Amino acid sequence: MNYIVANWKCNPDSVKEAKKILIGYKKGIKKSKKAQAVICSPAHLLGLAKDTLKSLAAVGGQNCSWENCGAFTGEISAPQLADMGCGYVIVGHSERRKFFGETNESVNKRVKAALAAGLTPIVCVGETREERIEGKITDVVELQIKEGLKDVDLCTTKIIIAYEPVWAIGTGQACSPQEAGVVSQFIRNIACDKIPLLYGGSVNAANGMSYLAEAGFNGLLIGGVSLQPVEFNKLVANAIAL
């Protein structure tokens, strides 16, 4: 099973535009046991995504609170996402780490809350450009996994890790499948051999399959290109055909 996950980030800027993208998905996504499409839209669009796509795709949040409910202005909780029909939630995306103070410790609390609510967390790890230049890729990824997934049994828990080199996100400079493949093997060695691993960072319809076919990944986390339904649908179709 390959996961083709759309990360819409804080896009699009209107419900009208969101409807267009969802209708575009609906026209092209075929249901298959070989690939699961997961749409992680902004929270206010999750209901619309679910109603439009029904069983064609799962939906997921882009973050969740470690608290279940209460006085936490601006947060959305894991039980709230589950109640809306989400099956997944992205946790620890590099943009959350960079702009909103997310740490490995807060990632760990959010992951535990997601698991308790029955969601599958998609936990993002990856090094910055400076860390890569300094030769620290595996050190950084190892710490993110050790601390971010502390006390979580990675072989028995339904959890997904997404390797997203920060320098490859939104830059058009995807990590080569060879280099990403070395990291995917490293993650399997320190986490669990069978854990589903996604690659993310400037994925498009042309380069996407090489990560699945050549680099040992079980899916893709797609930002910019997920807003283009024709391209996104090609990725789902290609993953089914693989």
Beta strands in 119-232 (DSSP E): 120-125, 160-163, 197-200, 219-222
Least distance between ligand PGA and beta carbon 126 (Å): 9
Which of 221, 235, 236, 239 binds ligand PGA (CB under 6 A)? It is: 221
Distance linking the first and last C-alpha atoms of the chain: 10
Size of site (CB under 6 A) for ligand PGA? 13
- Distance in angstroms (rounded) separating the CA atoms of residues 147 and 63: 18
Residues between 62 and 81 that touch ligand PGA (CB under 6 A): none
Nearer to ligand PGA, 79 or 227 (CB): 227
Q: Let me know if 164 is a catalytic residue.
A: yes
Q: Let me know if 102 is a catalytic residue.
A: no
Query: Which is nearest to 141 in space by CA: 162, 112, 120?
Result: 162
Query: Which is nearest to 231 in space by CA: 210, 198, 211, 203?
Result: 203
The Cβ of residue 134 has, within 10 Å, a number of other Cβ atoms equal to 12
Nearer to ligand PGA, 12 or 224 (CB): 224
Is 170 a binder of ligand PGA (CB under 6 A)? yes
Is 7 a binder of ligand PGA (CB under 6 A)? yes
Is 164 a binder of ligand PGA (CB under 6 A)? yes
Is 82 a binder of ligand PGA (CB under 6 A)? no
Beta strands in 111-233 (DSSP E): 120-125, 160-163, 197-200, 219-222
162 Cβ contact partners less than 8 Å away, ≥ 6 residues apart = 5, 90, 122, 123, 124, 125, 197, 198, 199, 200, 221
Sign for the pseudo-dihedral over CA of 128, 212, 37, 120: negative
* Largest Cα–Cα separation, the chain: 47
Is 40 a binder of ligand PGA (CB under 6 A)? no
Is 175 a binder of ligand PGA (CB under 6 A)? no
Is 216 a binder of ligand PGA (CB under 6 A)? no
Least distance between ligand PGA and beta carbon 155 (Å): 25
> ω into residue 12 within 30 of 0, thus cis?
yes
Is 219 a binder of ligand PGA (CB under 6 A)? no
The window from 104-112, 141-149, 151-159, 220-228 that contacts ligand PGA (CB under 6 A) reads: 220-228
Is 102 a binder of ligand PGA (CB under 6 A)? no
The window from 49-57, 65-73, 181-189, 200-208 that contacts ligand PGA (CB under 6 A) reads: 200-208
Catalytic: which of 95, 127, 164, 231? 164
Positions that interact with ligand PGA (CB under 6 A): 7, 164, 169-170, 200-203, 221-225
Query: Which residues form the catalytic set?
Result: 93, 164
